[in-house]
Amino acid sequence: MSDIWNYLKCTDKPILMYGIGNGADKILDVFDIYGIKVSDIFSSDDFFKQKEFHGFNLKRYSDIVSEYEEGIIILAFAIFRDDMLNFIKNIPSKFEVLAPSVPVFGNDYFSLETLEKYENEINTVKELLADEMSVKVLEDSINYRLTGKISYLFNCQTDRDEVFSNIINFDSNETYIDLGAYRGDTIEEFLNQTNNNFEKILALEPDEKNYNKLSQYVSSLSNGLKENIIIENKASWSEQKVLSFPKSGGRNSSLLLEDIESVIFATDIDSLVNEYALNPTYIKMDVEGAEAETLVGLKNTLVKFRPKLAVSAYHKTADLFTLPILINKLNPEYKIYLRHHPYIPDWETNIYCI
């Protein structure tokens, strides 16, 4: 057996990197470890602005298509829009297309050694999963991470609506806790799914710029809605604590990024549930790598109320294996599902529990 890194190290085909952002930086760091050489780096024709990247003269996609008879295109940026997903599917067949999996946070990456390290956890998770589709998502996700072949992601993806139809069923009395509320997009999704009928919403967003946008969104809602929505400029954690936090204003603002110039108050969710006398029925957490700590900080809530859960499982390499086990440990009564929604790389792979 081999993994994508050793495959690329041994190939005779030219390696052509598509993308010039943070994802490309991370992939190039792993390439340096393995001694993998890149022949060219390029961007989409419509987004061609930068002239140089990591010492390469940047090219356009059209240049690559015309100059190379064959090659391996390395996708180094996030793709989720339908038009871009279709574009990737239609890259000329003379090119092999791979999307290496590197974590959003942390310096580790998936390899054969990772598979061996977490073999017991993987087998445990497989036994915990509640349906065949979840097992398929687990297996295809591992195969994707090993090989970088995006066909595995296409084979196991489902739309988010499938979750709300088949797993997470809402009624008119939901109390929703939104952890990592960003600028209100997941509150809007919840309101659409419940036809604006709910008991209470508590939303946490640690990033100050995002919180201001979230506040504006909530303020724009009708009085009948916003009077039942509480928002806090806080981070979720395992305990109440002041932690460092960057003022980036981006979707990936995280407690895992070091920035000594700013701090944020972090809290366990059990404390907030008690403070606001909530009876939570649904909790979503997309907390940029702090999912494990957040779960520990709501262990009493999980046991007492058993709220439905939607938990991101892709921020760190081992989250796909360790988080389902942690949830089962905190409350063995949960039925645990895995779903992957349309996205390259394997972001938007989530754990759903009922």
Domain boundary among 85, 100, 115: 100
Same-domain check for residues 166 and 271: yes
Of 24-38, 149-163, 238-252, 264-278, where does mean pLDDT reach its minimum?
238-252
Structural domain total, the chain: 2
| pLDDT (0 to 100) of residue 254 | 47
pLDDT confidence bin for 46, thresholds 50/70/90:
confident
End-to-end CA distance of the chain: 37
pLDDT confidence bin for 248, thresholds 50/70/90:
low
Domain assignment present for residue 337? The answer is yes
| pLDDT (0 to 100) of residue 152 | 98
Domain assignment present for residue 123? The answer is no
Give strand pairing partners of 17: 41, 74
Exposure letters 157-172 (e unless 16+ CB within 10 A, then b): beebeebbeebbebee
Q: Please report, for residues 41, 265, 322, the alpha-carbon distance to residue 325 in angstroms, rounded to integers and kept in the order given.
A: 40, 28, 5
Same-domain check for residues 170 and 296: yes
Q: What are 287-310's pLDDT values in tens digits?
A: 989 999 999 999 999 999 999 999
Domain assignment present for residue 146? The answer is no
Nearest to 267 by CA among 202, 185, 175: 202
| pLDDT (0 to 100) of residue 116 | 95
Same-domain check for residues 94 and 166: no
Q: What are 270-285's pLDDT values in tens digits?
A: 999 999 999 999 999 9
Count of residues in the chain: 354
Give strand pairing partners of 353: 309, 336
Same-domain check for residues 170 and 256: yes
11-15: Cβ within 8 A, 24+ apart: 11/72, 13/70, 13/71, 13/72, 13/96, 14/39, 14/40, 14/68, 14/70, 14/71, 14/72, 15/39, 15/71, 15/72, 15/74
Domain assignment present for residue 112? The answer is no
Cβ atoms within 10 A of the Cβ of 320, count?
24
Amino acid making up residue 85? L
pLDDT higher than 70, residue 257: no
Q: Which structural domain, as residue segments, surrounds residue 265?
A: 160-353
Task: In whole angstroms, give the CA distance from residue 353 to residue 328.
Answer: 10
Domain boundary among 53, 68, 100: 100
CATH of the domain at 349: 3.40.50.150
CATH of the domain at 39: 3.40.50.20
Task: In whole angstroms, give the CA distance from residue 165 to residue 36.
Answer: 44
Same-domain check for residues 84 and 164: no
Structure tokens at 251: 């979707």
Of 107-121, 238-252, 316-330, 335-349, where does mean pLDDT reach its minimum?
238-252
Same-domain check for residues 243 and 166: yes
Please state, for a pLDDT cut of 90, what percent of the chain lies above it.
Answer: 88
Same-domain check for residues 167 and 93: no
Cβ atoms within 10 A of the Cβ of 325, count?
15
Same-domain check for residues 77 and 167: no
pLDDT, mean over the chain: 94
Domain assignment present for residue 61? The answer is yes
Same-domain check for residues 226 and 320: yes
Name the helix (H) or strand (E) containing 255: none
The CA-CA-CA angle for residues 185, 191, 193, to 5°, reads 105
Q: What are 182-222's pLDDT values in tens digits?
A: 999 999 999 999 999 999 999 999 999 999 999 999 999 99
Domain assignment present for residue 88? The answer is yes
pLDDT confidence bin for 262, thresholds 50/70/90:
confident
Domain assignment present for residue 258? The answer is yes
Better-predicted residue by pLDDT, 250 or 285: 285
| pLDDT (0 to 100) of residue 261 | 58
Domain assignment present for residue 129? The answer is no
- Widest distance between CA atoms in the chain: 65
| pLDDT (0 to 100) of residue 232 | 97
Angle between helices 119-128 and 132-147 (to 10 degrees): 150
Domain boundary among 50, 71, 100: 100
